[in-house]
């Protein structure tokens, strides 16, 4: 296992009150407008069509299944694909590399499922150059059945040079499939 696969990822829970105006507050307003008087808005196909255009590239949606990992990605935005150097639509959280990043994502999904309300997470990712990439995520629960969290919409904002972050994730791509002779 190479050094990049062993990188430690640190995260902490934030508060909605601490969010600055921008994409994350826009995401929360979008969620609140759909929610009405329920604990979470209903999941419908049109959610991805109605999400504000500026949010979609840095968003992803997981299906929570029975509430235990691995979770399946229903959608993984193009901005996230470019930033993380991998595409996860149709794959599970088990495909996230490096492992430390996967563990932090799964832990945050489990917290969101348990709490049944929007959660804010501050994540620190050390880069090979020694700097730290910081991003903030809002994880928003949705419910197809009106009683449990069945999907989570995540929107991310980051403060780093995308090229530097790509270097962290690019070295962690799974080995390519062998070619047939």
Give 140-177 pLDDT, tens digit per residue: 999 999 999 999 999 998 765 555 554 544 444 443 33
Q: Is the pLDDT of residue 91 over 80?
A: yes
Tokens of 60: 């992803």
Domains annotated for the chain, with CATH where assigned, are 3-170 (3.30.450.20)
- Which pLDDT score, from 0 to 100, does residue 167 have? 53
pLDDT band at 7 (very low <50, low <70, confident <90, very high): low
* Averaged pLDDT for residues 71-89: 92
* Averaged pLDDT for residues 71-85: 91
pLDDT band at 180 (very low <50, low <70, confident <90, very high): very low
Q: How far, in Å, CA of 126 to CA of 16, rounded?
A: 25
Report the predicted TM-score, pTM, of the whole model to 2 decimal places: 0.85
């Amino acid at each position: 296992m190479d050094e990049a696969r062993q990188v430690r990822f640190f995260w902490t829970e934030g508060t909605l009150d601490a969010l600055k105006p921008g994409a994350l507050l826009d995401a929360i307003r979008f969620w609140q407008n759909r929610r009405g008087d329920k604990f979470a808005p209903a999941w419908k196909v049109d959610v991805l069509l109605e999400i504000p255009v500026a949010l979609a590239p840095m968003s992803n949606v997981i299906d929570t299944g029975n509430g235990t990992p691995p979770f399946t990605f229903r959608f993984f935005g193009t901005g996230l694909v470019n930033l993380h150097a991998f595409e996860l639509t149709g794959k599970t959280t088990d495909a996230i590399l490096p492992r430390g990043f996967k563990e932090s994502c799964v832990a945050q999904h489990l917290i969101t499922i348990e709490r049944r309300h929007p959660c804010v997470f501050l994540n620190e990712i050390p880069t090979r150059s020694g700097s730290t990439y910081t991003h903030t995520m809002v994880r928003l629960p949705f419910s197809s059945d009106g009683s449990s969290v069945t999907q989570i919409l995540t929107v991310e904002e980051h403060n780093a040079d995308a090229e530097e972050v790509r270097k962290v994730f690019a070295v962690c791509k799974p080995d390519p499939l062998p070619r047939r002779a």
